[in-house]
Amino acid sequence: GQAMWLSYRDCAHLFERCLEAEYDYEIVYGISDNDRKYYSIERARDVLGYDPQDNSVEF
Protein backbone atom coordinates (compact mmCIF):
# COMPACT_ATOMS: atom_id res chain seq x y z
CA GLY A 1 0.00 0.00 0.00
CA GLN A 2 0.88 3.66 0.05
CA ALA A 3 2.32 3.49 3.56
CA MET A 4 5.07 1.02 2.59
CA TRP A 5 5.80 2.30 -0.95
CA LEU A 6 9.43 2.69 -2.00
CA SER A 7 10.25 4.42 -5.28
CA TYR A 8 13.03 3.17 -7.52
CA ARG A 9 14.94 6.42 -6.97
CA ASP A 10 14.69 6.20 -3.15
CA CYS A 11 15.59 2.50 -3.25
CA ALA A 12 18.76 3.21 -5.26
CA HIS A 13 19.66 6.04 -2.87
CA LEU A 14 19.13 3.83 0.20
CA PHE A 15 21.29 1.04 -1.26
CA GLU A 16 24.02 3.57 -2.05
CA ARG A 17 23.92 4.94 1.50
CA CYS A 18 24.08 1.39 2.94
CA LEU A 19 27.09 0.48 0.82
CA GLU A 20 28.93 3.63 1.88
CA ALA A 21 28.03 3.35 5.58
CA GLU A 22 30.69 3.02 8.26
CA TYR A 23 28.55 0.47 10.16
CA ASP A 24 28.91 -3.30 10.23
CA TYR A 25 25.13 -3.59 10.21
CA GLU A 26 22.04 -1.51 10.86
CA ILE A 27 18.35 -2.30 10.65
CA VAL A 28 16.28 0.43 9.01
CA TYR A 29 12.99 0.68 7.16
CA GLY A 30 13.35 1.12 3.41
CA ILE A 31 10.38 3.25 2.42
CA SER A 32 9.93 6.58 0.70
CA ASP A 33 8.87 9.69 2.62
CA ASN A 34 5.18 8.79 2.39
CA ASP A 35 2.47 10.86 4.06
CA ARG A 36 0.74 7.70 5.32
CA LYS A 37 3.85 5.86 6.56
CA TYR A 38 3.54 4.12 9.90
CA TYR A 39 7.19 3.16 10.23
CA SER A 40 9.80 5.74 11.13
CA ILE A 41 12.66 6.39 8.72
CA GLU A 42 14.49 8.64 11.21
CA ARG A 43 17.11 5.98 12.02
CA ALA A 44 17.97 5.67 8.32
CA ARG A 45 18.19 9.46 8.09
CA ASP A 46 20.40 9.71 11.19
CA VAL A 47 22.90 6.90 10.69
CA LEU A 48 22.94 6.53 6.91
CA GLY A 49 22.12 10.01 5.66
CA TYR A 50 19.10 8.59 3.82
CA ASP A 51 17.15 11.44 2.25
CA PRO A 52 14.13 10.08 0.34
CA GLN A 53 12.76 12.36 -2.37
CA ASP A 54 9.46 10.69 -3.24
CA ASN A 55 6.02 10.34 -1.65
CA SER A 56 3.41 7.76 -2.66
CA VAL A 57 0.61 10.35 -2.89
CA GLU A 58 2.40 11.96 -5.84
CA PHE A 59 2.16 8.77 -7.93
Instruction: Give per-residue pLDDT as tens, 18-58.
Output: 999 988 888 999 999 999 999 999 999 999 999 999 999 99
Residue pair 37/1 in contact (Cβ under 8 Å)? The answer is: no
**pLDDT on residue 30:** 95
CA distance 52 to 10: 5
